[in-house]
Chain A
Amino acid sequence: MVRGDDRCESLFLFLEADHVQVLLLSNLPDDVRRFIIANLSSVAQLEVLLLLRDDRDREWTADEVSRPLYSAASGILRELNDLVAKGLAYVTHAPDTRFRYRPKPDEEVDAIVDRLAHLYKERRAAIISLIYSEPIDKARSFADAFRIRKDKEQ
């Protein structure tokens, strides 16, 4: 970020950026935000999920997924397996390993992913910054819940 000896100013800028980020995050719908926090650990994973969803009846190999995303197939395979573990995709091993979009508790999750896909077109920055925001410290969030006025914190 800002490098220079005027620390005060860079801290101020930092706080400003943080504040903007909080604003961006707070405008995302609750269910989408919760879905992202619970399920997505990287933007690559989000893009894999959305790619699978766009062609939901197709069964993809890791190689086929990696090409439009310009990524290494090995990394993509890891993301795909992770999506399977989270109940968002389905895997078949015969004759070769192929993946297909299939959200587990179907309609509800499907609707959230739908909205996420739309939001990813319009509010890309908000979603990316949410994915890369610090993992929430559970104990701390419990203690912070008892803070009645939240606006001055963070």
Chain B
Amino acid sequence: MGLFVQGMSAMACVVIALFFLRFWQSTRDRLFLIFAVAFSLMCATRIVSSALGAAEVHSGYVYGVRFLAYLLIIVAIIDKNRPRPVASI
């Protein structure tokens, strides 16, 4: 059951990442690209964790990748809030 749920979650992450990639392509907003990578990493978390087996769900590899994913989301938010040069009139 655990493996099945993790597989479903991994698939959902892939779908979400693809949507964000499409948004990135249409808006050229870097936030979407970073989110796409973050959700790919969340997918990786699930794959690594199911590959390592139930005993290792809290191994450093798994939460390391997870942390990286969330770190990217923070980076995306900071990037979005950086003061940007105002277009001159």
Contacts and interface: CB of A to CB of B under 8 A. Distances in A.
Interface of A: 7-8, 11, 137, 139-140, 142-143, 146-149
Contact of B89 (A7, A137, A149): A7
Interface stretch (B21-29, B44-52, B54-62): B21-29
A135 to B, nearest CB: 15
Interface of B: 23, 26-27, 29, 31-32, 76-77, 80-81, 89
A142 B77 contact: no
A146 B23 contact: no
A142 B89 CA distance: 27
Q: By DSSP majority rule, is chain A's interface helix, strand, loop, or mixed?
A: helix
B20 to A, nearest CB: 9
B32 A146 contact: no
9 contacts: A7-B89, A139-B23, A139-B32, A140-B27, A140-B29, A143-B32, A143-B80, A146-B77, A147-B81
Contacts, number: 28
A131 to B, nearest CB: 25
Nearest to B76: A146
Given A8-B89, A142-B23, A148 B81 contact: yes
A78 B23 CA distance: 33
Given A148-B81, A149-B81, A143 B89 contact: no
A8 B88 CA distance: 11
Q: Which 8 A-B pairs have the closest CB atoms?
A: A139-B23, A146-B80, A143-B29, A143-B31, A146-B77, A148-B81, A139-B27, A147-B80
Nearest to B19: A139
Nearest to B30: A143
Contacts of A143: 23, 27, 29, 31-32, 80
A27 B80 CA distance: 27
